[in-house]
Chain A
Amino acid sequence: DVVMTQSPLSLPVTLGQPASISCRSSQSLVHSDGNTYLNWFQQRPGLSPRRLIYKVSDRDSGVPDRFSGSGSGTAFTLRISRVEAEDVGIYYCMQGTHWPVTFGGGTKVEIK
């Protein structure tokens, strides 16, 4: 199975400041169809996960543009340009290129 490794595990951030989460995969996530199926999910406390980003950098409907995704191959990044209080929660990367789907262990974003 593809191992997804996120860092850091915990990310204390100041309101209004940027934040960045790294996700690395144990093998390339480029699919034979040319797409890279790397998604990012946000899970706010007590709520279900919500997809923010799909195929590395495409934002889901309703997701604020302060969230952006980038990367290629085996290295990916989720960036929050200016952290707001509602961004507190756990963020997961997930790969859908190789069977089975696998998730990163999560990064907890909290306000300093």
Chain B
Amino acid sequence: EVHLLESGGDLVQPGGSLRLSCAASGFNFIKYAMSWVRQAPGRGLEWVSDISETGGDTYYADSVKGRFTISRDNSKSALFLQMNSLRGEDTAVYYCVRGIVGAFWGQGTLVTVSS
């Protein structure tokens, strides 16, 4: 059974940093691109970033480019999102998703940016 478990969400001050992790299991991680999608409180879904199977190609939404970095460790079936220079508008639940926004989503981890 495919399982994606995010962690690392927290309350952080504006300008701060946070690193999200996603532990994947139940499938051959190295065969899939992976994505991060976020959802601000009471709002819709926003694609944030994705990474190719090998990690050699990464893509970002304009809203996070230059501040967020996606990476993966295929030896550990893990996906990461390093978030720097956080802003209030980054407050959201962040979901780890298999594929380029595919069928399998984690339960999400809440990031709150506030002073």
Chain A residues near B (Cβ < 8 Å): 39, 41, 48-51, 54, 60, 92, 94, 96, 99-106
Contact = CB atoms under 8 A, between A and B. Distances in A.
Nearest to B102: A51
B81 to A, nearest CB: 16
A50 B105 contact: yes
A105 B103 contact: no
Contacts of A105: 44
16 contacts: A48-B106, A48-B108, A49-B95, A49-B105, A51-B103, A54-B103, A92-B45, A94-B45, A96-B100, A100-B61, A101-B50, A102-B47, A103-B44, A103-B46, A104-B44, A106-B45
Interface in B68-115: 95, 100-103, 105-108
Contacts, number: 40
Contacts of A101: 35, 47, 50, 100-101
B105 A48 contact: yes
Contacts of B32: none
A92 B105 contact: no
Max chain B CB contacts within 10 Å: which of A41, A48, A103?
A: A48
A104 B35 CA distance: 18
B40 to A, nearest CB: 12
Contacts of A48: 95, 105-108
A50 B101 CA distance: 11
A49 B45 CA distance: 9
B27 interface: no
B103 A103 contact: no
B103 A60 contact: yes
A60 B45 CA distance: 20
Contact of A39 (B46, B95, B101): B101
